[in-house]
Amino acid sequence: MITTTSRPDFLHSEVTPKAHYLNRRRFLGGLAAAGLAFPSLAGTKFTGVVKSPLSTAEKPTSYDAVTKYNNFYEFGTGKDQPAETAQNFQTSPWTVVIEGEVAKPRILDLDAILKIAPLEERIYRHRCVEGWSMVVPWIGFPLSALIKLAAPSASAKYVAFQSYYDIRQMPQARYGGIPFPYVEGLRLDEAMNPLTLLAVGLYGETLPNQNGAPLRLVVPWKYGFKGIKSIVKIRFTAKQPPTSWSMANAREYGFYSNVNPRVDHPRWSQAKERRMGEFFKRDTLLFNGYADQVAALYSGMDLRKDY
C-alpha cells in the first residue's frame, strides 16, 4: 500500500514569490508597515485525512464554540476577542526553526512540515484551567515524527517551543499581562508520547488564526494553555525550559500542568468542569481521561509537588 501525506490543495510557498518567502521576517515587516496583508488560508480543506484510533468517541463540540471561545492573549484576553482581532494575522509564508541539542537542525517551511507524516484526524478532549472543557476534531501528525527527523542528541531532555510575536500585528498583547513571545515546554518523553500532536487544522480544514494558525501543539492530558499556538521555534534542551505562565505566576501554573482533579488551582477547585454546550458540570478525570496512555510517564512523581 502506498501512503501519501495529506495536505490542502495548495502549496504554502505558492502564496507569495519565493524571494520574499525565503526572507519572511523582513517581508512581513514591510507589509505590516504598508498596511497590507495576505489572504487568509483558514478554511482550506484537507483531503485524504486518516481517522485516528486514538480519538475519543465523544461528540465534538460545535465549530462555533471551538473557533469563537479562545485563549490567545496576543490577540486579547477576552475569550471572544481573538476570533475578531486575529482575522488579518499573516500566516503565510511561515517557517519553523528546529535547533538546540539535535544532530539535524534545520528551518522548515509549511510545505516541508506537511510532508513529515500522513495527517490524521484526532478527536481529543480538552480541559481549560478556568473550568470549561470541549471536544475538538484536530488535523495533525504526531510530534514524535518531527522529533525523529531532528535526531535529538543524548543530552536532549526537554523540548521548548516559541510562538510568533509581532506587536504590529498583535497590539492587544500590550494588555496581556504575561511575557511575550509565548514559550512552552515538554519533557522529551512527553513530547514523544503518541498522543502529543502538532496540529495544522480542525474540522477538516486549516486552522483558523484564533486557534493557532498555522501550526500549534496539542497535549490532551494537560491543561489547555500548554497547547502553544503559531509555533516558530522548536528547541531541544538539556535543562527544563521556561514557560510563559510559570514565569508570570509560578504558584498557579507549574511546568507539568497535568489535568489533576485532586490538585486545586489556588483560586478554585479543579474537581468539576463544564463542557461547552452543556448546562450541568461533570467530574474532571485524572489526566483528562488519558491516564491509561500517560500515567506511566509520571511514575514515582509527586503530582501535587510537580503540578
CATH of the domain at 285: 3.90.420.10
Residue 306 lies in a domain: no
For residues 190 and 197, give the distance between their C-alpha atoms in angstroms, rounded to a whole number.
11
Give percent of the chain with pLDDT exceeding 90: 85
Residue 4 lies in a domain: no
Q: How many domains does the chain have?
A: 1
Residue 304 lies in a domain: no
Question: According to the model, what pLDDT value does residue 80 have?
Answer: 97
Tell me the pLDDT band of 43, cut-offs 50, 70 and 90.
Answer: confident
Residue 139 lies in a domain: yes
Identify the residue whose cell numbers are 525565503: 22
Residues 181-198, mean pLDDT to the nearest whole number: 98
**pLDDT tens-digit series, residues 127-146:** 999 999 999 999 999 999 99
Residue 138 lies in a domain: yes
Question: According to the model, what pLDDT value does residue 14 have?
Answer: 46
For residue 100, the enclosing domain spans 12-298
Residue from 89, 306, 288, 121 nearest 203 by CA: 121
For residues 165 and 72, give the distance between their C-alpha atoms in angstroms, rounded to a whole number.
12
Residue 7 lies in a domain: no
pTM of the model: 0.88
Residue from 235, 218, 229 nearest 158 by CA: 235
Residue 305 lies in a domain: no
Residues 238-264, mean pLDDT to the nearest whole number: 96
Residue 146 lies in a domain: yes
pLDDT exceeds 50 at position 34:
no
